[in-house]
């Protein structure tokens, strides 16, 4: 059997991208254990604000409780497993499960159980049935990271020297810590592949840039302001929009 990674030849096996067995191993050995980015504190500025994110395949709720403490909860009811939050983001005083109506406060505590006296004879210990919270959470310059592994190394140790790149992204231009803010909503694509295609393509394959050429020529980049690239990266700027209704100038390459 060919090796998955052949360092001598500089090639990798396609099985890495399509093997279900490898994917399941990744879910258990990577996504269930490592520190994962969940969201940014600016997405939940006020108590009761929430943003639904994911950790691996698990849906999680990023929220801020009444004491302004930030939490990340598994988005699943402790009764029979229904998602307790079915919105992408918003504001709520409690998360009420749509199935049988159990309610959870923004600190995760179970606070409401329909027919508590009749069905549970007032004996259900609500303190034992709160939302499941991540094992560790950290707020790194406004970015919220979490892990399910209580034994995971600290976030700083885990990131090591990679933090310099986070700092560049999250810190203010004057060098002070934090200051970044998430603006606007979330763009989502449904792509029939597992996580590696997108991750590898975005982070490791700048070589494919030529494949976006038609987008650049037509000046229909996602920003709506023309091409996606810029002069800082050695790209020639397009001076006008081709056929853009607000601009009659011709493109210059």
Distances (CA, A) of 149 to 21, 96, 114: 22, 27, 33
96-115 residues near ligand FES, rule: CB under 6 A: 97, 99-102
How many positions of this chain bind ligand FES (CB under 6 A)? Answer: 9
Least separation in angstroms between residue 80's CB and ligand FES is: 4
List the structure tokens of 49.
Answer: 């604000």
- Please, which residue, 97 or 105, has the CB nearer to ligand FES? 97
CA 84 to chain centre: 19
228 lies in the binding site for ligand FES (CB under 6 A): no
- Please, which residue, 101 or 243, has the CB nearer to ligand FES? 101
Least separation in angstroms between residue 98's CB and ligand FES is: 8
50-89 residues near ligand FES, rule: CB under 6 A: 77, 79-80, 82
Least separation in angstroms between residue 92's CB and ligand FES is: 15
Least separation in angstroms between residue 236's CB and ligand FES is: 57
Least separation in angstroms between residue 121's CB and ligand FES is: 18
- Please, which residue, 131 or 134, has the CB nearer to ligand FES? 131
Residue pair 85/61 in contact (Cβ under 8 Å)? The answer is yes
- Please, which residue, 36 or 97, has the CB nearer to ligand FES? 97
DSSP string, the chain: ---SEETTTTEE-THHHH-HHHHHHHIIIIITTS-EEEEEGGGS-STTEEEEEEETTEEEEEEE-TTS-EEEEESS-TTT---S--SSEEE-SEEE-TTT--EEETTS-EEE-TTHHHHHTT---GGGSPPPB-SEEEEETTEEEEES-TTSPPHHHHHGGGHHHHHHHHB-TTS-S-B----S-------SS-HHHHHHHHHH-GGGGGGGHHHHHHT--TTSSS-S--GGGTPPPP-S-TT-TT--PPP--
- Please, which residue, 133 or 167, has the CB nearer to ligand FES? 133
- Please, which residue, 99 or 197, has the CB nearer to ligand FES? 99
Least separation in angstroms between residue 77's CB and ligand FES is: 3
Show the 3-state SS of 215-228: HHHHCCCCCCCCCC
Least separation in angstroms between residue 78's CB and ligand FES is: 8
**Options 94-102, 124-132, 133-141, 227-235: segment touching ligand FES (CB under 6 A):** 94-102
Binding site for ligand FES (CB under 6 A): 77, 79-80, 82, 97, 99-102
């Amino acid at each position: 059997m060919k090796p998955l990674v052949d360092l001598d030849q500089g090639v990798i096996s396609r099985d890495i991208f399509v093997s279900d067995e490898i994917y399941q191993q990744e879910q258990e050995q990577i996504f269930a254990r490592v520190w994962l980015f969940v969201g940014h504190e600016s997405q939940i500025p006020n108590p009761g604000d929430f943003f639904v994110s994911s950790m691996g395949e698990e849906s999680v709720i990023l929220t801020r409780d009444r004491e302004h403490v930030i939490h990340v909860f598994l988005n699943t009811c402790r009764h029979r497993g229904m998602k307790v939050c079915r919105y992408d983001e918003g504001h709520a005083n409690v998360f009420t499960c749509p199935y049988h109506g159990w309610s959870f406060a923004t600190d995760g505590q179970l606070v409401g159980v329909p027919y508590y006296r009749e069905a549970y004879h007032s004996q259900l210990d609500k303190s034992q049935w709160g939302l499941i919270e991540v094992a560790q959470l950290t707020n790194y310059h406004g970015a919220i990271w979490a892990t399910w592994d209580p034994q995971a190394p600290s976030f700083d140790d885990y990131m090591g020297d990679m933090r310099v790149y986070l700092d560049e992204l999250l810190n203010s231009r004057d060098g002070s810590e934090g200051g970044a803010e998430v603006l606007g909503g979330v763009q989502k694509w449904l792509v029939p592949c597992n996580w590696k295609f997108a991750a590898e393509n975005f982070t490791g394959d700048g070589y494919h840039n030529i494949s976006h050429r038609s987008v650049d020529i037509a000046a229909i980049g996602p920003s709506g302001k023309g091409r996606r690239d810029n002069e800082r990266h050695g790209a020639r700027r397009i001076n006008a929009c081709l056929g853009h209704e607000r601009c009659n100038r011709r493109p210059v390459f």
